Amino acid sequence: MPFFLNGSCINVFFSSLPFKQSKNQLVKIHRKTGIMYRSISLVSLAILTSSLVHAQDVTEAYNLSNMSVQGTARSMGFGNALGSVGGDFSTVSVNPAGLGIYRSSELMATPSLKINGTSSSYTGVTTNDNTTAFNFNNIGIVLTDVAHRRRRARSNWQSVSFAFGFNRLADFNNNYTYTGQNNTSSASLAFESDANLNKSNAISTPPGSGLGYMGFQSYLLDTNTSGQFYSIVPFTNGVSQLKSSHITGGINEMSFSLGGSYRDKLLLGISIGVPFINFQNSYYYQESLQNPGAANNTGNFQSFTYSQDLSITGYGLNAKLGAIYKITDFIRVGAAFHTPTYYSINDVSNPSIVTNKTTSDSSFALTVDNGGTLQNQFSYNFVTPWKGVISGTFLLKNIGFLTADIEYVDYSTMRYIFPSGIDYNLNVPFQEEADQVNQQIKKIYKSTVNFRLGAEYRVTPIFMVRAGAGYYGNPYTAYGQTTNNPWYTNQHVDLSVGAGLHQGRFFADVALVHGMYTVYQQPYSVDYSGVISSSPATIPTAKTTYSTNNVALTLGMKLRNAPRERRRPMRNYN
């Protein structure tokens, strides 16, 4: 399953073109060249980018590992505390032993509507944003074979169920924007630093995508008499800074699962999962001078905008093993083990920059379309942490149940596997870069314990109401919650309510899950070892509060009723 693209660079350009050292001439000639496909530069993305998922960095690692099942509306209604409840398709993503609860086959689908909002504060300015997205949380089928009559007396396995379908494990759909004034630093210093630390890239031909190259070729940087690069942005006068991001996509897992009931006491199950990643992020960062006519604006700077369209796609493989034991007719306990997911991932990014000056006809754009920058492609592997779940359920006969899950995840065990070869931007092996990122992961992340609680109450023989809550702990070390990590979140809390109507062979469930969490990020980071125009300064931190709402409706049908002597007044509680 895993695959890699060749790590070498493939240059596509007309070698006979007479490249000159004038920046103006370089830009004109670059527009005549084709796109060069090459390995992605960790520096060019990680220095400036702070989107929800970064390419090959510690933030991407967490987002690919931080899963929360968004399956059927029934399970969402009681907080997805499914570890020992079972009898619901979502159980294949938590504890597949829950398939042993089934006494009939069924088919279901769950469309959902996500309504999310953000409120961001940056240098004292508050900005709000929102997004709405429609998708499917779940589509699945469960086929159940129940032993009854003579066969039941001869067999230790009272029922066996096979399930196939998908559950949504993560939803990335979100927008956020923040803006504010800053007179202590500028993102242009990241370009300056990269140019001075990688001078050959800054003046290289044909076009590249490193920050140093983009800053110099777009006139955001200039050179002094010693050949050192410096930013032309007089940020001490005060600059307006704005970051805006539009994010779509999610992770959907296709599951092949088998579960059964042994002597109506021990339930066992296994699930093979194939998750698919689709993440799209279109964002831009902009700086503009508050007073372009100031005397110290010797470079005639007015504004610059750095943009990037980032696409991350891939697939993975994992397994889940589970067991549920019925201590009594009213008490169950469960345990499940999730293996790490082994992903093969492909990143594609299209960076661009536009610099505007106060002088007439002075707008300089470098994009993939005009040949000024390169499209970056990189393929690699990633391994998520393993996960353990223990659960308990107290059944109230013919009334409902109370249930709880405790989940353990050690995020410090996440790791990247890069292909063999050399990153010619930095002249270091790819695997050395992977080792550096993996060491950062170990320093920034730690293990955490998550809790889920839920309840269901039967109001009438066919109508149920539900409620639940989930607490997802802080995965960051003390080191990870400082400027050593320009993006981190705190704990995440979900609250849910739901209801269900089950009549004969047909059933319908509805649920609302409201989530709350806060993200802290810096719009850029600067390696001041390459900066000559400014002393080190603290970069402002944006605080973004997320409010997520997931409204889901499950419609389903039983394909075969249970034998008459085994039918229960409560759906899949036995």
Where does the pLDDT of residue 296 fall: very low under 50, low under 70, confident under 90, or very high at 90 and above? confident
285 by Cβ neighbours in 10 Å (0-12 / 13-18 / 19+) ranks as: buried
Distance of CA 462 to the CA centre of its chain: 38
Least confident residue range of 180-184, 269-273, 358-362: 358-362
Average pLDDT taken over every residue of the chain: 85
pLDDT, residue 206, reads: 64
Estimate the share of the chain in helix, then strand, then coil, as percent rounded to the nearest 5. Answer: 15, 50, 35
Domain 23-175+184-226+250-282+308-566 grouped into CATH 3.10.129.10:
no
State which amino acid sits at residue 85. Answer: V
Across the range 276-286, mean pLDDT stands at 95
pLDDT, residue 33, reads: 33
How many CB atoms are closer than 10 A to CB 382?
Answer: 24
Q: At what angle do helices 58-65 and 430-444 cross, to 10 degrees?
A: 70
Cβ-based neighbours of 369, under 8 Å, separated by 6 or more: none
DSSP 381-414: EEEPPPEEEEEEEEEETTTEEEEEEEEEEEGGG-
Which has the closest alpha carbon to 219: 135, 286, 302? 302
Q: Where are the domains of the chain?
A: 23-175+184-226+250-282+308-566
Which has the closest alpha carbon to 305: 254, 366, 370? 366
CA distance linking residue 391 with residue 381, whole number of Å: 32
Distance of CA 21 to the CA centre of its chain: 42
The token duo for 63 is 């987002």
The token duo for 170 is 């993560």
How many CB atoms are closer than 10 A to CB 263?
Answer: 10
CA distances from 313 to 111, 255, 343, 348 (A): 23, 19, 10, 9
Question: What tens digit of pLDDT does each residue of 15-40 get?
Answer: 222 222 333 333 333 322 333 333 33
Q: Are 491 and 473 in contact (CB under 8 A)?
A: yes
Give φ, ψ of 248 to 5 degrees.
-135, 165
pTM for the full predicted model:
0.84
Proportion of the chain above pLDDT 70, given as a percent: 85
The residue that leads in pLDDT, 241 or 35, is 241
Q: Are 184 and 239 in contact (CB under 8 A)?
A: no
How many CB atoms are closer than 10 A to CB 206?
Answer: 22
Residues in the chain: 574
> Which ranges constitute the DSSP H helices of 3-128?
23-30, 42-46, 58-65, 73-77
pLDDT tops 90 at residue 191: yes
CA distances from 405 to 187, 369, 449, 471, 477 (A): 44, 51, 10, 10, 24
CA distances from 173 to 103, 116, 220, 325 (A): 37, 8, 33, 38
Across the range 114-127, mean pLDDT stands at 95
Distance of CA 422 to the CA centre of its chain: 27
Question: What tens digit of pLDDT does each residue of 380-396 get?
Answer: 999 999 999 999 999 98
Cis status of the peptide bond prior to 206, with omega within 30 of 0: yes
Q: Are 467 and 500 in contact (CB under 8 A)?
A: no
pLDDT, residue 291, reads: 83
State which amino acid sits at residue 236. Answer: T
Where does the pLDDT of residue 73 fall: very low under 50, low under 70, confident under 90, or very high at 90 and above? very high
CA distance linking residue 86 with residue 84, whole number of Å: 6
Across the range 74-80, mean pLDDT stands at 95
Question: What tens digit of pLDDT does each residue of 456-484 get?
Answer: 999 999 999 999 999 999 898 888 877 56
CA distance linking residue 172 with residue 54, whole number of Å: 13
Please give the angle made by the CA atoms of 16, 21 and 23, to the nearest 5 degrees: 110
Checking phi first, is residue 64 left (phi over 0); if not, alpha (psi -120 to 50) or beta? alpha
The token duo for 436 is 């550096």
pLDDT tops 70 at residue 50: no
Residue entry with tokens 């700086």: 287
Question: What tens digit of pLDDT does each residue of 125-134 get?
Answer: 999 999 999 9
Q: Are 538 and 523 in contact (CB under 8 A)?
A: no
pLDDT, residue 483, reads: 59
Which has the closest alpha carbon to 144: 191, 108, 106? 106
The token duo for 8 is 């070498």
Question: What tens digit of pLDDT does each residue of 488-523 get?
Answer: 777 889 999 999 999 989 999 999 999 999 988 899
CA distance linking residue 419 with residue 400, whole number of Å: 52
